[in-house]
């Protein structure tokens, strides 16, 4: 099967490409590398069934494919707010282009939407039927409303043109290959703790998130693609933690001397995230399997190696074999 992955050099996209190759598919990775990196695909770049195309998905492209995973879009506030108009273009024009390609080739096309379509929710856990509490004019709206517009386009192409669609609403995902400077919670906390710097917490740290390890997310995406379900499905880990709890756990696991530092909460930052995954469990037979502690251990090891490679040896950054994780985290 020939599979196109837009955003394929990004964090989740690169993991997805590697997984699809292991399943003997031919993978076309398309990315403009705004937030992605060739380093993320360095281990598969010369695979005989892998092809990389440097291209911006807001521009039309002609390919022959069987499946399309549409991941292309900056996903961290720091990156999607850098050029809000371009973020909207990626969500709208990019989605129009992949939907047009799917219509022409009769490919199945999957949109990686987001839990951000729920905004700052007033119900928990968030079900797919919940319509959200989203600001359409705030600083996050380029991403939140962009993804909502993309979902609308996907549903309209399905209803009007019988395009075979899938919509995955991804909750917070973490793991190796996270960008070191994207401003998101896990990468920020790990890097700051490894450097023994203050851990930056916005607000009081009582806001919650539910973190899903990237391998689980990728498996969920593949399960959804190969189902016949055309309505949105939550893909995430319902293990809800406060931001302060995450920071304290990372400090403990890295044996860091970092202290917590509190700053003002950004505008429209949601106070709660917890997915209801009953649909994914029932329809896809999917469940997250990797615990937060085990996932963090893999991610911490990755960032230690990454920081050593980028900065050279630094006595304040301990290699993986110097960290002895608490027994409860093994």
Along the chain (330 residues), what's the average pLDDT of each consecutive run of 10 residues? 98 98 98 95 98 97 97 87 91 97 98 96 97 92 94 98 98 95 90 96 95 98 98 98 98 97 90 97 98 98 86 52 44
The residue whose two tokens read 């939407």 is 113
Q: List strand residue ranges (DSSP E) for the chain, in order.
A: 2-6, 26-31, 50-54, 67-70, 108-114, 165-170, 173-174, 199-202, 208-210, 212-213, 232-235, 240-242, 260-263
The pLDDT of residue 10 is 97
Catalytic residues: 143
- Mapping DSSP onto H, E and C, the string for 47-63 reads CCCEEEEECCCCCCCCC
C-alpha neighbours within 13 Å on the C-beta side of residue 299: 30
Q: How high is the pLDDT of residue 181? A: 82
pTM: 0.93
Angle between helices 84-105 and 141-161 (to 10 degrees): 20
Q: Is 199 helix (H, G, I), strand (E, B) or coil?
A: strand
Which domains are present in the chain? 2-173+212-235 (3.40.50.720), 185-207+239-271+291-329 (3.90.25.10)
pLDDT of residue 322: 44
How is residue 198 annotated by DSSP?
A: P
Report CA dihedral (83, 137, 142, 174) to the nearest 10 degrees: 110
CA angle 330/319/296 to nearest 5° reads 35
Using an 8 Å Cβ cutoff, are 234 and 275 in contact?
A: yes
pLDDT for res 299: 98
């Amino acid at each position: 099967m020939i599979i196109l992955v837009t955003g394929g050099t990004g964090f989740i996209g690169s993991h997805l490409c590697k997984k699809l190759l292991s399943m003997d598919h031919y993978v076309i990775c398309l990315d403009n590398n705004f937030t992605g990196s060739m380093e993320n695909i360095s281990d598969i770049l010369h695979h005989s069934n892998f092809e990389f195309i440097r291209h911006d998905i807001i521009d039309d492209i002609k390919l022959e494919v069987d499946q399309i995973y549409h991941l292309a879009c900056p996903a961290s506030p720091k990156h999607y707010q850098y050029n809000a108009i371009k973020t909207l273009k990626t969500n709208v024009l990019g989605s129009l282009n992949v939907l047009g390609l799917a219509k022409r080739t009769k490919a199945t096309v999957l949109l990686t939407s987001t839990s951000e379509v729920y905004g700052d929710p007033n119900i928990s856990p968030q079900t797919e039927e919940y319509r959200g509490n989203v600001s359409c004019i705030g600083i996050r709206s380029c991403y939140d409303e962009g993804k909502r517009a993309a979902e609308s386009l996907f549903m309209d192409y399905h209803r009007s043109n019988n395009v075979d669609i899938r919509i995955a609403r991804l909750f917070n995902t973490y793991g190796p290959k996270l960008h070191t400077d994207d401003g998101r919670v896990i990468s920020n906390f790990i890097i700051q703790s490894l450097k023994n710097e203050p851990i930056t917490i916005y607000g009081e740290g009582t806001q919650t998130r539910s973190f899903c390890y990237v391998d689980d997310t990728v498996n969920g995406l593949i399960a959804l693609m190969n189902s016949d379900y055309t309505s949105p499905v939550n893909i995430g880990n319902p293990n809800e933690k406060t931001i302060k709890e995450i920071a304290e756990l990372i400090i403990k696991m890295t044996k860091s001397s970092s202290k917590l530092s509190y700053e003002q909460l950004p505008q429209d930052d949601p106070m709660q995230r917890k997915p209801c995954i009953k649909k994914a469990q029932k329809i896809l037979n999917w469940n997250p399997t990797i615990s937060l502690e085990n996932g963090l251990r893999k991610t911490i090891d990755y960032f230690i190696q990454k920081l050593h490679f980028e900065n050279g040896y630094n006595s304040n950054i301990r290699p993986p074999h110097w960290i002895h994780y608490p027994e409860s985290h093994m």
